[in-house]
């Protein structure tokens, strides 16, 4: 099932999918318009050296629900990044309830993964992306492939399997999440044999801090406050680093802002509307021009009502874009 993509792409007569990825391919990035528990990275390249587990799922699939506790445990493993790809069409509130009930904290992509080469027609299905950034496994019986990749990790998050003896202490501090201490320890390394690894450690921390700060700032400017909060929260873990000094205060400010709460409420309502329209789209005869026209008119009108209600929000602006999309489709069909 193609969820929101089916409404926003299929009705606009745009291609639904790239060629599905194969084992050996470089992992393709995707940028969902909607997340639950958004990640703190923007590209899989940022995770090079770690392992990624992508998994399609849905709450109406018994096997998926059975596997949720296991996925929660995988999410806790150092160096393993779980990202789930949600494929079912139903009330959005049902998914929210399941996330709360099963205490899901890993990222849930609600759209845009299908066009990147991760089709959702098999549920559950898993892609294992290895430490080199390439797809190592596609299927359901993934544990052996996952264990093989995880066995390569000695310094999760660092992007290196080995470091010189003189840099081992700094690398260990990095793995423990003591980033400021790791940075100082790396800067203090005088052993010529370990200086390259020391530079690697400081560079890794600098790049991550800058990437998080940039993502948080960009997300705030775009009024994607869920993403901004996640980035500031992660950046706060780098306490002691100069660019991380403002993270806790910026996060507090967002959590207390009435404007942010208004925007996040509007965005949630927009997702709910998209799910409603996705459910309606599934019920129509796509070969019946009259039914398709009626669906497009309903979508245009529903988005217009939403835009009027949430005027001035980023979600309202998105709704206005959808109004224009459906208006153009209706004009083309005349």
Domains in the chain, start-ordered, CATH in brackets? 3-150 (3.40.30.10), 165-245 (no CATH), 259-333 (no CATH)
Residue-wise pLDDT for 182-230, tens only, equals 999 999 999 999 999 999 999 999 999 999 999 999 999 999 999 999 9
Tokens of 166: 């003189």
Instruction: Give Cα 27 distance to the centre of its chain.
Output: 14
Q: What share of the chain is helix, strand, coil (3-state, %, to 5)?
A: 55, 10, 35
The reported pLDDT for the residue numbered 11 is 46
Question: Count H helices, E strands: the chain?
Answer: 12, 6
pTM: 0.93
Residues of the chain with pLDDT under 70: 1-17
Which residues, 6+ apart, have CB-to-CB distance to 157 below 8 Å?
49, 50, 78, 79, 174, 175, 204
Is residue 292 within 8 A of residue 286, CB to CB? The reply is: yes
Residue 108's DSSP bridge partners are 36, 84
The reported pLDDT for the residue numbered 10 is 44
Which residues, 6+ apart, have CB-to-CB distance to 96 below 8 Å?
36
Report the percent of the chain where pLDDT is more than 70. 95
């Amino acid at each position: 099932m193609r969820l929101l993509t089916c409404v926003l792409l299929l009705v606009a007569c745009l291609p639904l999918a790239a060629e599905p990825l194969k084992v050996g391919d470089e992992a393709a990035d995707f940028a969902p318009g909607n997340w639950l528990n958004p990640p703190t990275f923007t590209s899989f390249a940022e995770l090079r050296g770690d392992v990624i587990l992508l998994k399609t799922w849905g709450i109406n699939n018994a096997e998926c629900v059975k596997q949720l506790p296991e996925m929660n445990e995988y999410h806790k493993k150092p160096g393993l990044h779980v990202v789930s790809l949600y494929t079912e069409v139903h009330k959005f509130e049902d998914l929210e309830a399941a996330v709360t009930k099963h205490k899901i904290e890993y990222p849930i992509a609600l759209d845009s993964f299908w066009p990147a080469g991760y089709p959702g027609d098999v549920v559950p299905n898993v892609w294992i992306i290895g430490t080199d950034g390439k797809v190592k496994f596609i299927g359901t019986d993934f544990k052996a492939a996952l264990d093989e990749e995880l066995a390569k990790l000695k310094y999760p998050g660092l992007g290196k399997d080995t470091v010189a003896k003189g840099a081992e202490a700094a690398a260990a501090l990095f793995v423990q999440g003591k980033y400021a201490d790791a940075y100082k320890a790396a800067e203090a390394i005088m052993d010529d044999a370990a200086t390259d690894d020391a530079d690697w450690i400081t560079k890794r921390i600098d790049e991550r801090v800058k990437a998080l700060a940039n993502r948080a700032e960009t997300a705030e400017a775009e009024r994607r406050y869920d993403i901004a909060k996640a980035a500031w929260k992660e950046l706060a873990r780098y306490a002691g680093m100069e660019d991380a000094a403002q993270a806790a205060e910026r996060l507090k400010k967002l959590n207390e802002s009435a404007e942010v709460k208004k925007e996040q409420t509007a965005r949630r309502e927009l997702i709910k509307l998209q799910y409603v329209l996705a459910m309606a789209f599934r019920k129509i005869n796509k070969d019946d021009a009259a039914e398709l026209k009626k669906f497009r008119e309903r979508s245009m009108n529903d988005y217009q009502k939403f835009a009027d209600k949430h005027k001035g929000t980023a979600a309202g602006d998105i709704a206005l874009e959808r109004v224009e999309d459906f208006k153009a489709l209706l004009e083309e069909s005349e």
